[in-house]
Every structure is written in structure tokens, then in C-alpha cells.
Amino acid sequence: MVDFDTHPDRYRHWRLDIDGEVATVSLAVDEQGGLVPGYDLKMNSYDLGVDIELYDAAQRLRFEHPEVKAVVMTGGLDRMFCAGANIRMLAQSSHGWKVNFCKFTNETRNGIEDATEHSGQTWIAAVNGTAAGGGYELALACDEIVLIDDGSSTVSLPEVPLLGVLPGTGGLTRVVDKRHVRKDRADLFATRSEGYRGDTAVQWGLVDATVPKRDWGAEIARRAHAAAARSTRSGDRGVELTALQRREEGDTVSYPFVTATLDRDARRVDLTVEGPKEGPPADAAAAREQGVDYWPLAVTRALDDLVLRLRTNEPELGTWVIRTVGDTDLVLAYDQQLRSLEGDWFVNEVNHFYKRLLKRLDVTSRSLVAVIEPGSCFAGVLLELALACDRQYMLEGVYEDVDPDADPATIALTASNDGRFPMGNGLSRLASRFWGHDDDLELARKLLDERLDARAADEAGLVTMALDDLDLEDELRIVLEERASLSPDALTGMEANHRFVGPETLETKIFGRLTAWQNWIFVRPNASGPDGALRRYGSGQRGDYDYGRV
């Protein structure tokens, strides 16, 4: 059981130092601190446990440190920035573990870029020594890359020549699509295990600058303060991310406002999000005062933790059924506040955290089904959860044998659904839904802030099916049984293709094309077979390849 909770006091691999407007996160991996037995984390190589700490640090910097406007990422070992993912860990891991590990590290790197872009926290890679493979990919997620000029340290992507796999945590994509390295040079770079340094590294765009040792500290500080000076981030007192209140009882995991029930026989999770119990706080200061108890943050933290835990620990639970329960008016009041107070640093952070959570759902390899019933509160921000699902089933009328007097379910679109929580492809989930049908999108926009019953929601194209109680129960039973019977691989590929219609971005290219190729390569004998390059790494023997091109 992998846990994603941690705290700077318990970090084994990273150190987080705050000095006014500049934070420094230093990587000094504890070789004996691997998450699972079987490998030593030498040369600042990492496993999932190392990245969990980095994720925690990035989250805390955003919520607990409004004063921090630049973040320097550096290596805490001499002449070593980071050697990338630990190869023995990869070699001994199951295919599923490798893929899920890469997904999480990708999300963490995207989060670093998100902080730079949306929080006024600019990350700078101070590459104080070798940055190889995943180590260079970490640097690539930063806004600037500065390489020490010590006559030996290089940046490199040695995966293809040494390991027979890709630099799959964004590396290939960021080199050409973010750093705009010319593609024939990218080809040279990605096949040259020793990497590049010096003028070549700068001219090609692999790094922004090289700096002699004697100037190192001053130049990094100069860059950090220059980035900080450009930041519009404001706020003095942070919001502490206190320990999550998670309870696990049998097959139920619950948090304030979020409950999940694991049905192993049906290979399903039933997940319920509760609306707020009362109206939103009066203003931004009051919201900050509530801190982690501020309803949107509490829901986001709980869902984020739940998604990560289920993805990592419960791969066989292939379908997640999402419900909400609560008062739509109260949800809408919060929904309104998240927009009206977006200028506040804290509310801004909550908005972007929720955005990142939704993106995590989008790239989650589970079938997602929303069920909209009486008592639910799928409005605005919470409707976004339904729109993230592969299908939406809505009850028309009420469950006659449960509560014949209930109010039939309604949903409500708000401005929150119209671009405030973009998917990785840059589109809102609403625009993705109506891709190619601008007329339907325009019609939906006319319905903002209206309560739509099942018939209206169906007519507007916002739900997959609106059914009465007898039909819905039958349909859901059949659908969920059927879904659980299908090939999980085929479903994963299908969902990844359907969810991202329309345009592509750096982010979707990483999760789509790059990841899909990497997954294919991971599972091939040339990498992971008994004589494959990953398995033989460190043995002194190269991989024994089948040279047939596919």
C-alpha cells in the first residue's frame, strides 16, 4: 500500500529551504530509502517515494508559502544533480508499476510548470552536476536551466543508447516542443549517452546558460531574484496543509466530503462527493482562515489523494462511479466565490489545484461513469467531475421505491464549465464534448446558471442518457458488468483516445504519444525481456536485441 502523505519533517530525499522570496529544493537521495526493497538509490536516482516528496514540496510551496516567488531546484550531492529514475527499480518493477510511476512523475513535472505559469513561482534548475535521463527531464520542467561549467558535468538523455527505452517522462517532447531544439540535434542528443555541455548545450538550447563554479551561487541567486521580481504573486501568511483526515474501514475510504467504497467483486469503486454544509466564508481572508477546511480545498485534497491511492494500489478496480450529494445552491455559492475571489492568491491556488486534479482524472486509466440522481449537486465545479467522465447517466424523475417525494435531479452549468478548468488540450470539458459542434456549444452557453432537469440536460447534450428509475437501474447494472468484463488494456487505449479530441498540446503529447510509445517499448522483450536492456543494465552486458523493426 503506497501512501502519498508526507511532510518536510519526514523527507528522506529532498530538503526544502525558504529564504524570503526564494525557496531552494535540494535533492540528496537517501540510498537506503527506496520505497520498496531491492535497489539502492545511488547517484541521486529516484523512485516513486522520491517523487512523492517532490510533489509534496511543490504543493506546500504553493499553499504554505505565498511569499515564495522563485524556486531553485538543485542537487544536494557533489557534482550530481540527478541521475534519473533508478534503473534497478525499473528493471524489477511490473509493467503497471512502471507506467503508473511515470504518470505520477509526469504530473508532478507538469505541476512545476503550472506553478511557474499560474502561481508566480518560477522554477529554476540549478544543475550543479550531472543531469542524466529523468534528472535532465526534471530540469526540463523548470523555466530556466543553468548548468555548472566544471569541465565535466553534462546534461544527457541516455535512455535510448543505454537502456533501450525512451526518455519518457516528457524528455523527448520537451526538448523539441518546449526548448525548441532542432530535431536532428535532438536525435543526436538522445542517442549520445554522454550528453552535452558547454557552448553546444547552450547553442542547441539544451540549457539556458553555463556558469563557472566561482560564479555559481551568485548567478543562481541573481536569476532567482530576477524571476521573483517579475512575479505578481502576493500574500504573506500561508495556509498550512495539515495532515489529511482519511479513514479506512474495511472497503471504505472516507475523508471529509469524499467517500469511496471499493467493490472488489465488481471491480468497481463507488465514489461520492459531498457538497458544502453551509455557505462560503464572507471573503478571501475568511477563506484563508478556513484553510484546508475551505470546502473546495478539502474536496480537492481528498479527491487528489484518493485518485493517487486508487491508481497505485487498486489497479483491478477498473471502473469508478462518481456521485455527488448535497445542496446545489450551496455548491453554486462556492462556485461563484471561486470566480469572484480568483484574484486572491489562496483562492487562485485552490482553483488551479482543482484544475490539476481534474487533469489527473483525465489521464487516469479507469473508466469513469457519473450517476446523477435526486439529492445530487452536479453544478458548476462539481459538474466538471461529471463532464470528466466517459459517460453520464441521469435519472429522469425519482426512485419511486426509495423516495417518491424527492425532487428530481438537476444539473447546472456555470462559467466554471466554460474554460476555467481547461483539460490538457487547452479546451474546456464542455468544448471537448461539443468538439466540431460549435452550435451545440453556443446553445449550452445560453443555459449557464439554469437548473436543468434530466430531459433538459439530455436535450442540451450534457448527459449520455436520461432514464427513468427502472430503466436506469437496469442499464447501470448491465453497463457496469459489461465494462468490468472488457479488456482493461483496450479500455485504457480507447479512453485515452476519446477523452482528448481536437487540438494537442505539449501536455497531451506527453500523456498521449510519448507515453503510449514508452508503454509499448517497456513491454517489449528488447527492454523488459530476460535479456533486454533494462534487465541487463549494470551487468556489463548490453541488451540482446531482436533487430527487427516494427
Q: Which is nearer to its own copies, 62 or 267 (CB)?
A: 267
Q: Which is nearer to its own copies, 401 or 547 (CB)?
A: 547
Least Å from the CB of residue 483 to its own copies: 7
Beta-strand pair 367-372/319-325: parallel
Instruction: Judge whether 99 and 40 are in contact, CB under 8 Å.
Output: no
Least Å from the CB of residue 311 to its own copies: 8
H/E stretch holding 72? strand 70-75
Least Å from the CB of residue 16 to its own copies: 32
Q: Which is nearer to its own copies, 302 or 389 (CB)?
A: 389
Residue type, 533: A
Least Å from the CB of residue 205 to its own copies: 9
**Helix, strand and coil percent figures for the chain, each rounded to 5:** 45, 15, 40
Least Å from the CB of residue 493 to its own copies: 4
Least Å from the CB of residue 191 to its own copies: 7
Q: Which is nearer to its own copies, 215 or 546 (CB)?
A: 546
Q: Which is nearer to its own copies, 30 or 117 (CB)?
A: 117
CA distances from 313 to 101, 213, 387 (A): 12, 44, 25
What CA–CA distance (Å, rounded) separates 351 from 57?
A: 19
Q: Where are the alpha helices (DSSP H) in 238-344?
A: 284-290, 295-313, 328-340
Q: Which is nearer to its own copies, 150 or 504 (CB)?
A: 504
Beta-strand pair 22-27/70-75: parallel
Q: Give the position of cell 513535472.
A: 109
Q: What is the maximal distance between C-alpha atoms in the chain? A: 78
Least Å from the CB of residue 436 to its own copies: 3
CA 246 centroid distance within chain: 20
Please name every residue paired with 249 in a beta bridge, in sequence order, or none if there are none: 252
Instruction: Name the grid cell of 30.
Output: 537517501
Measured over the CA atoms of residue 424, residue 168, residue 523 and residue 550, the dihedral's sign is: positive
Q: Which is nearer to its own copies, 215 or 489 (CB)?
A: 489
